[in-house]
A and B are shown apart, each in its own frame.
Chain A
Amino acid sequence: MKWLRENLWRHGVAIFAVLFAAFPLYLVVVTSFASSGSLQLTSFIPNEISFVNYEKLFNDPTIPFMTWMWNSLIVAGSVAILSVIIGAASAFAFSRLKFKGKKLGLQTLLLIQMFPAILAIAAVYLIMEGIGNFAPEFGLGTQSGLILVYLGGAMGVNIWLLKGFVDSIPIEIDEAAKIDGASEMQTYWQIFIPLASPVLAVVTLLSFIGTFNEYILARLFLVDMDIRTVAVGLQQFVAGQYSENWGAFAAGSIIASVPIVLIFLSLQRYIVSGLAGGAVKG
């Protein structure tokens, strides 16, 4: 009786949350294994298991799904690595070096991030159009151009997470290195980078997930079928009123999501502490 009173509501709440959370995901799985390509989000119990949708993704020449996956990997991968290189250097400087305007710099960075970036798209578009006029390989409609634009946010996005980590490395280590004759650059490369490498890996993966998820800029930039990222490509399946293709969309979503979900679950601990930032410290 006491067990009931203590734990029943807990299980009740948890089961409700689990059903709510799992419901759409379950439907996606069911839909992806249904043979008809139409909207299958009503059949709660699968009446068949068919791999038609998966085959379509891999064999239908009009759906370059693997190319999209590859594109997402290239774009998100490059952005993740380059932006962590940029972000780590900035975080180190903000945390460790003494210079004028440090507080102002951090505040400016914070403020810039609050501008609704979507609206600056028009200007970004014009800039990229201009670049395309003389360097077509970096202009509109190219992945390299898109990567450049994403890097605009590299300094701001990861800096809070990284700076928090750098702050947690005891400053005495730096001072000892300095006494041993290390320059700032040497401290950075030979002390900070090795110490921070686990965190840098986590931030790289987070940045990868973030870029993988980006939709608006990618849609604006990547017009040609063959250079789209998976997010843009899959969205087109269900965008048009007459071209709804939920089966293939569901199968594609599952293939695209599984790696992300696995990365996420394995990094849970770090992500949670990163999310909570300084707030949970107290």
Chain B
Amino acid sequence: MKLFTGNKLAVTAKIIFVSISLALLGLLAQSAFASGEGLIAGFIALSMLALALVYFTKISIPMKFFLPGILFLIAFVVLPILYTLVMSGFQFKTGNYVDKPQALERIVADSYVPDDSGLTFDVIVGETAQGEPALLATDYMAGEYFLSTEDSLTPLDESQVTIDPDLGIAVETDGFTRLDPDTLAAQGEALAQLKFAGPGEYFLALEGFEVAIPLKPGLVYDEATDSFTQAQTGAKYVDNGRGNYANIEDPEDKLSPGWRSPIWLENYVSLVTDPKVREPFIGVFIWTMVFSILTVITQFSLGLLVALALDKPLRGRRFYRIIIILPYAVPSIMSILIWGGMFDTEFGAINALLGTKIAWFLDPNFARAAVIIVNLWLGFPYFYLISNGALQAIPAELSEAARIDGASNRQIFWQITLPLLLRILTPLLIASFAFNFNNFNLIFLLTGGGPRNDLDGEIAGATDILISYTYKIAFGSQVQDLGLASAISVVIFILVAAISLYGIRRSKVLEEFI
């Protein structure tokens, strides 16, 4: 009798399935490569190799089970983490976002300045026979004419051009077609960006459609020394090694934009040494700890109290239980937003209930209290559930024995039940601490981290925890500093990992599990 059937069929199905996947991935890799996404193309190609090796050979049986998960894990979790790790060593913020070649290009482009003489040219906008945009320019004062494209300047004789008798400017020449007004209007914005070749070191830029002004670069780049010289003042700007060209005389005088450049541990060091970074960081860190600890204590206390109250057959226990679990079952995004509405100063239910007019989210302490209350609501049902389970796991003989020895209910709770519970639940308490340490949704949706002092340009608000603070640093509306944010993420990671590993060690959960 054959117990394990369908081997041939399964193998055929597998070969077909894997082959189709490989073919699709191959197509993707090809188009990724074609559109210049070399890294992604490389990753897909490696994935294909791994898939083929694992599923068509017997190289590793466990890999047959792991590979799909591992590929997703690497692509969307591990690589982003590594990227964050690398970025934490970079100067990577507003003003230093692009790479160096792009920054160079932008510095030159931004440095063009009009000539002091106020010279202008009268121009006709058109295109050459090849369809390139071109200007037919007249230097009215000097009585000279030339045809200018982006690449070249062709001086023209009076005999080569047709001059408008009224305006006295050149309007026609061979191989030049004037653009009609509609086209001009349609292409106006693009044309205004162009730099046409001008006499000498000048470029011509359009001012409207009839006049061009000569511009010259205010900064001259010298490739040999990798430095800029300011044309007017002669000031020299060199690569300061931190992603900017800075004035040799005055390091604070930098050219903009800079580029992202490695500064190694500086982001980390600034957490400790730079008061502008350190003080908000320490403030936020303290509140994060207070918030997480208070959250765990309040949630656990109320949850345990309820569990103790319901630890006995009681009329209505099923009803109590279902209602109490509800906050845990409702999608938390919705309930956080509703609580946000309930804390509203004018129309909120909380003020109506208390008969007060407290501006909950404008005062730091009230805002912090609100955060704790909402989190208590969100979390106490969870602790009720697990305390309930843990209470049942404690043998009844223990408390009975204590009672025979004359212990009161109170003594039994404080000296037997609670210590035992704490021992059982420590890993979960620590897990809850670690979760709340990074409870981004609560802060982000309830208070947005506020209140904060906008006038001082502070980023950190009174209820900001590390993760929401870091999010603001990285993706904030004003200044974004991905380098510093990445460094703080790494610090958070180390803290949470250390706390959790400590918890796991203590509870020996992992050993039991592995």
Contact between B341 and A238 (Cβ–Cβ < 8 Å)?
yes
Q: Which residues from chain A contact B441 at a C-beta distance below 8 Å? A: 215-216
A161 → chain B closest CB, angstroms: 11
Q: A235-B337, A257-B331 are in contact. Are A17 and B320 (CB under 8 A)?
A: yes
Q: Which residue of B lies closest to A156 (CB)?
A: B73
B83 → chain A closest CB, angstroms: 4
Contact between B3 and A11 (Cβ–Cβ < 8 Å)?
no
Q: Which residues from chain A contact B39 at a C-beta distance below 8 Å? A: 130
- Counting CB contacts under 8 A, is B427 at the interface? yes
Per-position 1/0 for B28-39, Cβ under 8 A of A = 100110111101
Q: A10-B309, A111-B497 are in contact. Are A279 and B333 (CB under 8 A)?
A: no
A46 → chain B closest CB, angstroms: 13
Q: Which residues from chain B contact A151 at a C-beta distance below 8 Å? A: 72, 76
Partner of A119, one of B7, B328, B474, B512: B474
Q: Which residues from chain B contact A148 at a C-beta distance below 8 Å? A: 72, 75-76
Contact between A155 and B342 (Cβ–Cβ < 8 Å)?
no
Of residues 1 to 26 in A, which have CB atoms within 8 Å of B's CB atoms? 7, 9-15, 17-18, 20-25
Contact between A280 and B333 (Cβ–Cβ < 8 Å)?
no
Partner of A282, one of B28, B80, B332, B424: B424
A235 → chain B closest CB, angstroms: 6
- Stretch of B114-122, B275-283, B379-387 at the chain-chain interface: B379-387
Q: A155-B73, A235-B445 are in contact. Are A122 and B337 (CB under 8 A)?
A: no
Of residues 184 to 217 in A, which have CB atoms within 8 Å of B's CB atoms? 184-186, 188-190, 209, 212-213, 215-216
- Counting CB contacts under 8 A, is A115 at the interface? yes
Per-position 1/0 for A117-131, Cβ under 8 A of B = 111111110110011
Partner of A152, one of B3, B72, B305, B507: B72
Contact between A134 and B32 (Cβ–Cβ < 8 Å)?
yes
Per-position 1/0 for A22-62, Cβ under 8 A of B = 11110110000000001111101000000000000000000
Q: Which residues from chain A contact B7 at a C-beta distance below 8 Å? A: 183, 186
Contact between A41 and B389 (Cβ–Cβ < 8 Å)?
no
Q: A152-B76, A235-B445 are in contact. Are A276 and B320 (CB under 8 A)?
A: no
Q: Which residues from chain A contact B342 at a C-beta distance below 8 Å? A: 24, 27, 41
Docked complex Cα distance between A43 and B471 (Å): 36
Partner of B62, one of A27, A97, A257: A97
Q: Which residue of A lies closest to B382 (CB)?
A: A275
- Counting CB contacts under 8 A, is B8 at the interface? no
Q: Which residue of B lies closest to A150 (CB)?
A: B76
- Counting CB contacts under 8 A, is B78 at the interface? yes
Of residues 310 to 364 in B, which have CB atoms within 8 Å of A's CB atoms? 310, 312, 314, 316-317, 319-320, 322-335, 337-342, 344, 346-349, 352
* Selected A-B contacts with CB under 8 Å, 12 pairs: A17-B302, A44-B352, A86-B69, A112-B77, A114-B500, A119-B474, A122-B482, A156-B73, A185-B10, A253-B331, A261-B330, A273-B389
User: Known pairs A120-B80, A155-B70, A260-B329. 18 more at Cβ < 8 A?
Assistant: A7-B312, A21-B327, A22-B326, A41-B349, A112-B78, A114-B493, A115-B77, A118-B471, A127-B76, A130-B37, A133-B35, A152-B72, A152-B76, A154-B73, A215-B441, A260-B331, A272-B389, A279-B386
